[in-house]
Amino acid sequence: MASMDKHRYLGWASAAIPAGLFAWFAAQLPAIAAGAKLSYTFNWLPTLGLQTGFSLDGLSLLFALLITGIGSLVLIYAGYYFTPHNATEPATRPFSEARFFAYILLFMVCMLGVVTASDVITLFIFWEGTSIVSFLLVAYKYKDAEARRGATKALIITGGGGVALLAGLLMLANVAGSTQFSAIFAQAALVKASPLYPVMLGLVALGAFTKSAQFPAHHWLPNAMSAPTPASAYLHSATMVKAGIYLMARLFPALGGSELWFGLLVSAGFITMILGAVKGLFQQDLKAVLAYSTISQLGVLMMLIGWGSSTAMKALAVGTIAHALYKGAMFLMAGIVDHSAHTRDLGALRTLGLRKYMPLTFAATILPALSMAGLPPLLGFLGKETLLAAIEEAHGGLIVVVFGAILAGAFTLAQAAMLLFDTFSHASHPKSHPSEAANHAHAAKYSDPPFGFLLGPALLGVLSLVLAFDWLLEAGPITTLVGSAAKAAYGDKVKVDLALFQGFNLPLLMSAMAIAIGLGIAQYRHRLRTKFGSLWLLQPVRMDALYHGFMRSLEFTAKQATGLQNGSIRTYLSLMFIGFGALTLWFGAWRWPAIANPFLIEAQPLQALRIFSLLLVVAAALASVLARRDLTAIIALGASGLGVALVIALEPSPDVALVQIIVDILTTVILVMAMDRLPVKMRDAAYKIERQEHILTRLRHLTIAGGAGLFMFMVCLNALSGRPRNSIVTPFYEQQSKPFTGAADIVGAIVVDFRGFDTMIEITVFGVAGAAIYSLLRYATQKHGDDLENADNITQIADRPAVPNLEILGRATSTRGIGGRVPSALVQLAAQAILPISIIVAFVHMLYGHDQPGDGFTAGVIVAIAVGLMVLAYGQIDTFKRLRWLRPGYLIGSGWLVVMLGSLSPILWGQVFFSPFDFSVATGLDRFLPVGASISTSFLFEIAICLTVIGSASWMLQTFAREPAKITD
């Protein structure tokens, strides 16, 4: 035996905490019984009116004592459980299982929180905590697939119940107007009269039923037996599964007593009771028998709460104590057997005859087994007596329930007999009698555990006996506890007399019947098991059909759902257009325009030119769609843009038209360059694929595109016929622009003054676009096979493209123009000459942009186009080698900074951020400037825009004009 093992110390040490708590809770008993109520409240979420806190009454105390008492025994026990049985087994690492003790303590905190919560929210918080810790404990041996499956199942079922419970509790609190139990109880009449009553009761019951393993949610419990045995004993028998019982008992004063309550709880409890009792007898696994017997007992308790009489509540309290004691002990015993024999299979155990080798364990099992069987003079007997007394008394002693209870009692007795004898006794079959040698081997292998290991089950068994004689004392602790717990649950005083013999009455008779039948079943249990064991109904549940079906349907639905995300942007956009169409129709936003609007046919100056420009736009746009060659399409698109510029110029809005023209040119240039990077074959292939599409697909595309076109047509016609609009802001701009911004041109004033902030962000966008294209094409699309480790180096040289390091990228330096063709010297000369001219033009634009058409943006694009010409003439490498100042990243960055500084500087003169301000006037420099020019915030702004635009556009040019990496087509 590994004496060095630290787990035992850990067990004993950690048990001190619950033991201390147990003592404290026990000390509260007299005061609680006298009617005192300990409570502690704190404001967790006062804004939401949530008074959270804890309070201790009889019912809470009953559960708290069980939790702490059994908890300490389980912790001590666990210390031994995680120690190898004997020296032949591999020793555990010290504290390797400390996780388990932490979980158990954490669980205990959660469980105590549940039973002492004074409001529904606190209860729910700890309730969910128990589910999570239970998940961790069931999956404790997580390498085992079975354990993981069991844990998932338990979590899904109790988690689902948790969601329902939260909804139910919040509804309850909403109707009662408070989350506090005391306030909710005070509003019980209101709650029961509420039309929501059935819903909230259903939801709360769903939460309780899933937690307490009531039919049909019971099947997670047998699977949860993959947890280490101390956890099974503690969580899945003595405490956690009783949380649902506690909850329903707690809410009885608020929700209980109705027909629905009775029907729901009694029927669920009844079915669960019978099902657990019968199925348990047919299990092979020791823990599975115990699990089903637990299920049965939980059914009994749930049924009692449904019953709702004062005697039922008394029976509930007695039954809870009795069950916790004997079932805890039985589970712990099962753990000891498993620990020693390494099997829990009843068939295998029967061949061993463990009684001989483990007499003490056998002896310790006798008392709890008798209690489980419901035999006098043990607590289990008292439990059964009170149960039978309760159900024959109120509700006319529903005959089915009475017989069911007798039958369940009989089966439980048979289970107890099976557990006791089949585990420890030897099979009577003479042939399987072990030889002497085997006997010796067994004696060495199987032996009674050390004292501490046995302490838990033995003590619980003894308590099952001793506490049953509580009635001998005047106001004994159990009587007091049961009395105050039943009182708290029932909401009124409950008479408690726990004498073992109450005279020859009906319950005693029924009890005797149950014992008699039980003994019969026990006697013929092997025959029964072989005869009916193969029945489908009695098979041990692995993956219950309901749960399995649920998971299957989840997976099926999930597959359908993800199927929509097929990766094709065409599908996405189609669906989005359809979605938008649906929204438009839903809101009734579609308006047929008044086609016959006079504005459209009214004669205007230059009417012919207007009509021509419109036709140009339409025809060019159509051509760009229909063109066979993509280059033609791009040029057609450019033409369409120029048509738009013409329309704008005729408005007349020369400023905007100018921008439109130059942007159109720049876009066309960049598009052509970009297109040049795509291999011709690839472009042709793309074109062909489109032509080869199925007629229906094309029809669908046509419908969506046509719909979008029709939509825009409607919007445009409406916009036209809606004019002239009366703008709120335009008159203001007209009046204010000259005096305050010094601009005669409203557009200029709007762009850099009134709405300069928009422009500031827009140039940021423009700069980002340049940076984006650059990094995308420079690195991102070429990352595969590139020297990525040197990405930083590449970054640094990016601004100095002529540096020979470019060889890294595998591109030769050349003085060739775009596409590797050498342009004529004339073009080169022109490019050389145009660039400085363009810079001068740009400067003038900026200087006078405020009064004249043109601005920083135009200026920037003009320079960029000139740079573009250079690139065409010399190729990008040479161009950027020649133009050392042209370093896109720095231009963009400084553009952003100049605009920021420019708009901040008025603050120095007591103005605000973005105020229009003329520095030349403020500093007296205006005398030296040419007429009409000034150094103002708007001028700085124009410069900034220009810098950013040059930077960004030339970055794009530089990127697109690079000889593409070899793309094999």
Residues 561-580 that bind other proteins (CB under 8 A): 561-562, 565, 567, 569, 571-573, 575-576, 578-580
Residue with tokens 């409240």: 41
Contact between 457 and 332 (Cβ < 8 Å):
yes
Of 426, 406, 410, 438, the closest CA to residue 362 belongs to: 426
- Considering beta carbons, is residue 42 or 501 the nearer one to other proteins? 42
Answer yes or no: are the C-beta atoms of 348 and 285 closer than 8 Å: no
Residue 233: Cβ within 10 Å count: 33
Q: For residue 897, which amino acid is it?
A: L
d(CA 757, CA 698): 44
588 or 598: CB nearest other proteins: 588
* Residue 947, CA atoms < 13 Å, CB-side half-sphere: 21
The DSSP-derived string for 100-135 is HHHHHHHHHHHHHHHHHBSBHHHHHHHHHHHHHHHH
The binder of other proteins chosen from 429, 628, 691, 783 (CB under 8 A): 783
Taken in order 605, 611, 617, 620, the sign of the CA dihedral is negative
Give the separation between CA 172 and CA 968, rounded to whole angstroms.
70
216 counts as binding other proteins under rule CB under 8 A: no
> Distance (Å, rounded) from C-alpha 498 to C-alpha 949?
93
| Sites for other proteins among residues 878-897 (CB under 8 A) | 889-890, 892-897
- Dist CA 840 CA 377 (whole Å): 112
Which of 347, 144, 710 lies closest to 152 in space, CA to CA?
Answer: 144
The residue within the footprint of other proteins, chosen from 41, 653, 911, 920 (CB under 8 A), is 911
Stretch that binds other proteins, among 19-27, 319-327, 540-548, 756-764 (CB under 8 A): 756-764
For residues 364-423, which are near other proteins according to CB under 8 A? none
Residue from 3, 428, 604, 726 touching other proteins (CB under 8 A): that is 726
Minimum CB–partner distance for residue 726 and other proteins (Å) = 6
8 A C-beta contact, residue 669 and residue 868: yes
Taking phi over 0 as left and psi of -120 to 50 as alpha, with beta for the rest, 499 belongs to beta
User: Is the dihedral angle over the CA atoms 822, 824, 827, 833 positive or is it negative?
Assistant: positive
Q: Does 799 bind other proteins (CB under 8 A)?
A: yes
Stretch that binds other proteins, among 209-217, 383-391, 427-435, 796-804 (CB under 8 A): 796-804
Q: What's the closest the beta carbon of residue 434 comes to other proteins, in angstroms?
A: 38
Residue 732-751 contact track with other proteins, rule CB under 8 A, x = bound: xx--x---------------
Closest CA to 715 of 821, 624, 590: 590
Backbone angles phi, psi at 53, to 5 degrees: 170, -170
Judged by beta carbon, residue 138 or residue 417, the one nearer other proteins is 138
Among 23-31, 675-683, 754-762, 920-928, which window interacts with other proteins (CB under 8 A)?
754-762
Q: In the set 472, 475, 554, 680, which binds other proteins (CB under 8 A)?
A: 554
CB-wise, 555 or 651, nearer to other proteins?
555
Q: Which of residues 148-187 bind other proteins (CB under 8 A)?
A: 148, 151-152, 155-156, 159-160, 163-164, 166-167, 170-171, 174
**Residue window 811-830: x/- pattern of binding to other proteins, with contact defined by CB under 8 A:** --------------------
Site for other proteins in 426-455 (CB under 8 A): none
Instruction: Of 652, 642, 958, 833, give the one whose Cα is nearest residue 841.
Output: 833
- Binding test (CB under 8 A) with other proteins, winner from 27, 503, 792, 840: 792
- Smaller CB separation from other proteins, 151 or 634: 151
Write out the binding residues for other proteins, residues 24-53 only, by CB under 8 A: 43-48
In angstroms, the CA 433 to CA 429 distance is 7
Work out whether 555 is an interface residue with other proteins (CB under 8 A): yes
Q: Which is nearer to other proteins, 343 or 721 (CB)?
A: 721
Q: Which of 39, 667, 668, 781 binds other proteins (CB under 8 A)?
A: 781
Q: Is the peptide bond prior to 216 cis by the omega test (within 30 degrees of 0)? A: yes
Amino acid identity of residue 352, one-letter, is L
From 715, 803, 808, 929, residue interacting with other proteins (rule: CB under 8 A)? 715
> Quick one: which of 258, 267, 668, 775 contacts other proteins (CB under 8 A)?
775
| The only residue of 497, 690, 758, 969 in contact with other proteins, by rule CB under 8 A | 758
Provide the minimum distance between the beta carbon of 784 and other proteins in the complex, in angstroms, as a whole number: 7
Judged by CB under 8 A, the stretch of 86-94, 250-258, 642-650, 753-761 that binds other proteins is 753-761
Q: CB 269 → other proteins: shortest distance, Å?
A: 25
Nearest CB to other proteins, comparing residues 82 and 124: 124
Q: How far is the CB of 807 from other proteins (least distance, A)?
A: 20
Question: What is the pattern of x (binds other proteins, CB under 8 A) and - over residues 105-134?
Answer: ----------------x--xxx-xx--x--
Q: How far from 522 is each of 297, 327, 781, CA to CA, in Å?
A: 18, 19, 77
Give the shortest CB-160-to-other proteins separation in angstroms: 5
Near other proteins by CB under 8 A, which window of 296-304, 379-387, 497-505, 727-735? 727-735
**What is each CA distance from 961 to 677, 767, 805, 954, in whole angstroms?**
8, 18, 19, 10
Rounded distance between C-alpha atoms, residue 366 and residue 164, angstroms:
41
User: Rounded to a whole number, what is the distance in angstroms from the first to the last CA of the chain?
Assistant: 74
Is 768 a binder of other proteins (CB under 8 A)? yes
Neighbours of 380 (CB within 10 A): 31
Contact range with other proteins by CB under 8 A, out of 216-224, 258-266, 788-796, 860-868:
788-796
Helix (H, G, I), strand (E, B) or coil at 285: strand
**CB 369 within 8 Å of CB 419:** yes
User: Which residues, 581 to 600, sit near other proteins by CB under 8 A?
Assistant: 583-584, 586-591
CB of 150 to other proteins, least distance (A): 12
One of 292, 453, 547, 754 touching other proteins (CB under 8 A): 754
Instruction: Give residues 521-540 in contact with other proteins (rule: CB under 8 A).
Output: none
Between the alpha carbon of residue 153 and those of residues 149, 224, 284, the distances in Å are 6, 8, 21
Residue 873 token pair: 């003439």
Among 509, 516, 904, 908, binds other proteins (CB under 8 A): 904
Torsion, Cα of 877, 879, 884, 887 (10° steps): -70
Piece of 498-506, 559-567, 634-642, 652-660 that binds other proteins (CB under 8 A)? 559-567
Output Rg (C-alpha) for the chain, integer angstroms.
Answer: 43
Using the contact rule CB under 8 A, the part of the chain among 20-28, 352-360, 531-539, 723-731 near other proteins is 723-731
Shortest Å, Cβ 764 to other proteins: 6
Give the contacts of 311 (CB within 8 A, at least 6 positions apart).
Answer: 386, 389, 390, 393, 394, 494
CB of 51 to other proteins, least distance (A): 13
How many whole angstroms from its chain centre is CA 797? Answer: 45
Answer for which of 558, 625, 680, 682 binds other proteins (CB under 8 A) is 558
**Alpha helix locations (H) across 281-431?**
286-307, 310-341, 346-350, 354-357, 359-373, 379-393, 399-417, 423-424
Indicate the residue among 503 and 588 with the shorter CB distance to other proteins: 588
DSSP state of 613: H
Per DSSP, 693 falls in state: S
The verdict on 772 binding other proteins (CB under 8 A) reads yes
Residues that bind other proteins (rule: CB under 8 A) add up to a total of 121
683 binds other proteins (CB under 8 A): no
Q: Which is nearer to other proteins, 210 or 415 (CB)?
A: 210
Q: Is 839 in the site for other proteins (CB under 8 A)?
A: no
| Positions in 655-674 near other proteins (CB under 8 A) | none
